[in-house]
Amino acid sequence: MRKRETLLGRICLSALLVACLLGGLEGTPASGGLPAQAAVRFEDVTAAAKIHFVRNTGAFGKRYLPETMGSGCAFLDYDNDGNLDILLVNGSDFPGHKGRRTTLKLYHNNGDATFKDVTTHSGLDVEMYGMGVAVGDYDNDGWDDVYVTGLGGAHLFHNQHNGSFKDVTKEAGVNNTGFGASAAWLDYDRDGKLDLFVTNYVKWSEKSDIVCKLDGVHKSYCTPEAYPGDTCRLLPARPASSTPPASLWALP
């Protein structure tokens, strides 16, 4: 009986593979090119959408490792109007070399394929050497909240339901002082509350900066493996009855 079931299983698997192969061949043109329905083209509409953003790497000639990193962005509906808005993460000048002030940028979707910079009155007008961003409704009130990682610090912004955000990093106890590369919201213990997972890149600071020289003379950018790696952090959400109630996460 077992041999018969095994034989039937092999026959079914073989039939499935043949069907998949035939289906794939059927959708492939004789010329070997992509099927017509797969010919998708993208058009750069940044200027037409009225989005004006240039990341500040803070570079001033020292060739610091963070300058080689790009930054994150997020689509979110922060005002619950049904249109996706855009949040762009920015860098900043390094201490002792301040020449300009650059911040996160929040662009409101006007609903007509254009966006408006509403950063100033959004509460996100914060200067930081930002890296990643994660959007999630951590308090289950139906509004998108934002967590931004960066070099030497992170920020948790609570949605105030009026087009603005409040920085609640200290109250929630979720600052990350490492080289925060990115973050993600998840409910890893399935208790109905969003937990926070933060990834750290490497252990770097201006004091610990390593001098790398590709030509043996001039300083170049070091590759990340030149530095010791750093650990990630899992911040589980605390029960509502926890003390103190203002702290939403248990620190590791």
pLDDT single digits (tens) 56-71: 999 999 999 999 999 9
Residue 4 scores a pLDDT above 70: no
Q: Look at 1-5, 117-121, 184-188, 209-213 and tell me which has the smallest mean pLDDT.
A: 1-5
Look up tokens 């962005």; give the residue: 73
pLDDT computed for residue 154 by the predictor:
98
pLDDT the model gives residue 51: 98
Q: pLDDT tens digits, residue range 20-34?
A: 444 444 445 555 565
Tell me the CA end-to-end span of the chain in Å, nearest whole number. 54
Rg (CA), the chain: 24
Number of H-type helices and E-type strands within the chain:
2, 11
Residues 154, 136, 55, 180, CA torsion sign: positive
Q: What is the pTM of this model?
A: 0.81
Sign of the four-CA dihedral 166, 51, 72, 85:
positive
Pick 19 or 170 by higher pLDDT: 170
pLDDT at residue 238 in the model? 77
